[in-house]
Every structure is written in C-alpha cells, then in structure tokens.
Structure 1
Amino acid sequence: MDLQLSGRVAVVTGASKGIGLAVATTLAEEGAHVVAASRTRTDALPDKVVHVAADLMDPEAPARVVARAVEEFGGVDILVNNAGGPPPGVTLPRAGFLTPSDEDWAAMFEFNLFSVVRMIRSVLPVMLERGGGSIVNVSSTMSRQAGPVNVDYGAAKAAVNQLTKALSEEYGPQGVRVNTVMPGAVLTDWWTKEGGAAEVFAGMAGSDKESVIAEVAPAMMKLVTGRLIHPQEIADAVALLASPRSGSTTGAEFVIDGGQLKEI
C-alpha cells in the first residue's frame, strides 16, 4: 500500500533509538524527508535523515528543531512526538506514590508533557500555513492502566491523551489531524539496558533479566501474545496515522499492547 508520504516533511523526536528510530527509518523508507531530534545521533539512522541535536528538557529546543526542518525542507507536514519515558538520569519502574518527590514529578511532566506541548506549539503555525498536517503523540497503556508503579509517568501520559483530544477538536477543521499511539511494553533499551526495567523487575521477582523479558513481564502484564512488542510494530501504526490514507482519523487512540488492556 502506498502511504503517499513521498516528499512530505516529518519531524520525529527521540529518534536515536527504540520506537523513535523505527519511526524515523520507516518514514524515510516511505519517501518522507525526515528531521530526527535527539540528544545524540546514532549510526543506525539512514544517511538521508537530517539529525538535530536537541535536549527537549530545554524549553527552547522545540522551536530550534522546527526551524531546522523549515530551513532544510520548507515546512513540516508530520510531527511525531515520541520522546518520553524516564527523564535523563532516571530509572523506571519506580514503585509507590510516595517515592517520587516534587522534583521527580516536575521532571517527568517536563519530559513527557511539556516537551510535547512546546513541539506542537512550535509546529502548528508552520502546518497551518501549508494547509494542514498530521501530529502523532506517543503515549502509553500506563495512561489508562492505573497502578502503584510509575504513578507520575502514567499521569503525564494521561495528560498527553487529553491534549490530543483537545487539539483534534480545535485544529481538525483547519486540516491538522492529531492522534495518539498507545504502546504497551515495547522491547527497547528501557527494558534491556544495564540497570533497566528488566533488571529492576528481576530483582523484585527473584529472577534474571532474560527470564523477565521472555516470560515474567508478559505473564505479569497478561499479554495475550505472550511477548513484548517490537518497535517496528509501533512505527507501522505511526506511519499509517501520518499518511493521508488516514485522512478521516483524528482524535483517536491506537492501542498496540499485545492484549494488555482488557476493558471495553
């Protein structure tokens, strides 16, 4: 299926690894001009992708990223707000409501909500000038699956969901579609890195890292598929939502979670 992305200009945040890397690569393969924002560039990015070094904890960074896209390609048609998760220097999971301090809450919202707000604020005038565009916000099943782990992260992502709905209502009539992709547990370095989630859960469960990834985590989250999600599976959904082929899809939440969420 031709996604009609050839020649369109896409900005992808958090594009150096995991979901963001898969999204940037997929959009580039579909013919889009891609501007990838992350603190550092990875050699895994296709050569034709333009990288912008940006720390989205810096309030001025989003405007610089959008300005670079306009400078290189004349505008922006697609924004993928993928950057998120643990703020720099933070390891998740983090158990218990009383565990995170005010500073922890502030950093979590700065990285997972306010960076999204600022990216959208920076890109909207450019999109509107071109007659519309597509914004895809990457949220999380933790925004809907409340529990005593990563409370601050789940709250920040729930705010992203609400923001998506509000923006869709306001800017849909002007040609800007805004949707959310809601991944479950994705096999990224959040899980696999040294000291990452798999090792933290292994310590809690008296297990080992490999067993957590292959068995313990899928069982704990009651994943119907019995495995964690591949980043490419998220990237494929993002590409479809970015495409004009999804022209009547806006304000939607696409859950890709291996069957984790059970409610109707």
Structure 2
Amino acid sequence: MDLRLSDRVAVVTGASKGMGLAITATLLSEGAKVIAVSRKSSPELDALAGPRLVHVSADLTNPEAPASAIASAVEVFGGVDILVNNAGGPPPGTSLPRFGFLTPDDADWRDMFEFNLFSAVRAIRAAIPVMLGRGGGAIVNVSSTLARQPGAMNVDYSAAKAGLNAVTKSLSEEFGPQGIRVNTVSPGPVRTDWWTKDGGAADIIAASAGIDRDAVMDSAAPEMMRLTTGRLIDPQEVADAVALLVSPRSGSTTGAEYIVDAGALKEL
C-alpha cells in the first residue's frame, strides 16, 4: 500500500532507538523527509543517513528544545507536515518501574511531566502554526496503555500519559476543521531499551521477583501483564500504526486512540 508520504516533512522525537528508530525508518521507506530528534545519535540511526534524514541533537526536557527542532525542519526542509511525539518513558537518569505512589517525590513528578507531557505540548505549539501555513498536517502522540489502566507502579508516568491523551482530544477538536489531524498511539509493553538496557525494567523486575532478566522479558512480564499474544511488542508494530495514522489514507481519522497492546487491555 502506498501511504502517499513522498516528500512530506516529518519530525520524530526519541528517534535514535526503539519505537522512534522504527518510526523514522518506516517514514523514510515511504518517501518522507525526516528530522530525527534525540539527545544523541546511534549506529542504527546513522545507518539511515541520507539526503532525506537530518539528526537534531536535543534534550527535550529543555523548554527551548522542542521549538528548536521544529525550526530545524523549517530551515532544512521548508516546513513540517508530520509530527510524531514519540520521546517518553523514563526521564534521563531515571529507571522504571517505580513501585508505589509514595516513591516518586516532587522532583520526580516534575521530571516525568517535563519529558512525557510538556515536551510534546511545546513541540505541538511550535508545529501548529507551520502546519496551518501549509494547509494542514498530522500529529501522532505516542502514549501508553498505562494511561487507561494505571496501577501501583509508575503512577507519575501514567498520569503524564493520561494528560497527553486529553491534549490529543482537545487539539483534534480545535484544529481538525483547519486540516490538522491529531491522534494517539498507545502501546503496551514494547521490547525496547526501557526493558533491555542494564538496570532497565527487566533487571528491576528480575531482582524483585528473584528470576533471570531474560525470563522476565520472554515469559514473566507477558504473563504478569496478561498479554494475549504471550510476548512483548516489536517496535515495528508500533511504527506501522504511526505511519498509517500520519498518512492521507487516514484522512478521516482524528481524535482517535490506536491501541497496540498485545491484548493487554481487556475492557470494552
């Protein structure tokens, strides 16, 4: 299927690894031009180098960074048609999961909201005038199933993502009539650096449960989260959903939440 993304200009945050890397590669394969935003590049992102890809180094917890990334897209490629707010998860220097409401303090809450909500808000604020000047655009905010099904772990993260879902709905209502579609993709547990890095979620859960880290990712975590598919999600599966939502082929889809959760959410 041709997604009709040739020469569209996309900004993807958190683009150097995991879901962001998969999203970047997918949009490039569909002919888009991509500003890939991350604190630093990666060998995998460097391997995608070419005239349609520019890496912008940015710490999105810096309030000026999101607007600077949008400005780079305008400077290099002449505008912005697509914005994917993928950056999120543990703020720099933080490891998740955190257990219990009393664990994160005020600074932890501020860091979580800066990274998972405010950075997206700032990028959107900068992108909308540019998109309006081009007659419209598409925004996808990458949220989480934890926004819908919060629990005793990662309370601050769940709250930040719930806020992002609410922002998506509000933006869709305000700017949909002006040609800007805004949607959410909510993944369940994706096999990314969040899980696999040293000291990441797999190690934290393994230490708590007294089992091997590989067993956490291969069986314990899917069982604990009641994943219907029995496995963690592949980043490409999220990237495919994002690519479809930013495509003109989804021209009547706005204000929607697209779930890629391996069957974790059971409610109607």
> Is residue 2:262 matched to residue 1:258?
yes
Amino acid corresponding to residue 31 of structure 2 in structure 1: G
Post-superposition CA distance 1:166-224 (Å, at most 9, x none): 00000000000000000000000100110100011111111110000000000000000
Q: Which position in structure 2 is the counterpart of 1:7?
A: 7
Post-superposition CA distance 1:87-131 (Å, at most 9, x none): 000000000000000000000000000000000000000000000
> Is residue 2:190 matched to residue 1:186?
yes
CA distance in 1 between partners of 2:258 and 2:104 (Å): 29
Match of residue 214, structure 1, among 205, 215, 218: 218
Q: Which stretches in structure 1 are left out of the alignment for 5+ residues?
A: none
CA distance in 2 between partners of 1:81 and 1:5 (Å): 18
> Is residue 2:202 matched to residue 1:198?
yes
Q: Which stretches in structure 2 are left out of the alignment for 5+ residues?
A: none
Q: Which position in structure 1 is the counterpart of 2:62?
A: 58
Q: Which position in structure 1 is the counterpart of 2:164?
A: 160
CA distance in 2 between partners of 1:26 and 1:159 (Å): 27
CA distance in 1 between partners of 2:118 and 2:49 (Å): 30
Match of residue 83, structure 1, among 87, 99, 104: 87
Count of residue pairs the alignment pairs up: 264
CA distance in 2 between partners of 1:73 and 1:193 (Å): 34
Q: How far did 1:63 drift?
A: 1.3
Q: How far did 1:62 drift?
A: 1.1
Q: Secondary structure at the match of 1:163?
A: helix
CA distance in 2 between partners of 1:17 and 1:263 (Å): 31
Superposed structure 1 runs of 4+ greater than 3 Å apart: none
The TM-score with structure 2 as length reference comes to 0.98
CA distance in 1 between partners of 2:35 and 2:42 (Å): 13
Q: Which position in structure 1 is the counterpart of 2:24?
A: 24
Amino acid corresponding to residue 218 of structure 2 in structure 1: A
RMSD: 0.5
The TM-score with structure 1 as length reference comes to 0.99
> Is residue 2:47 matched to residue 1:43?
no
Q: Secondary structure at the match of 2:229?
A: coil
Q: How far did 1:43 drift?
A: 2.4
CA distance in 2 between partners of 1:130 and 1:160 (Å): 25
Identity %: 68
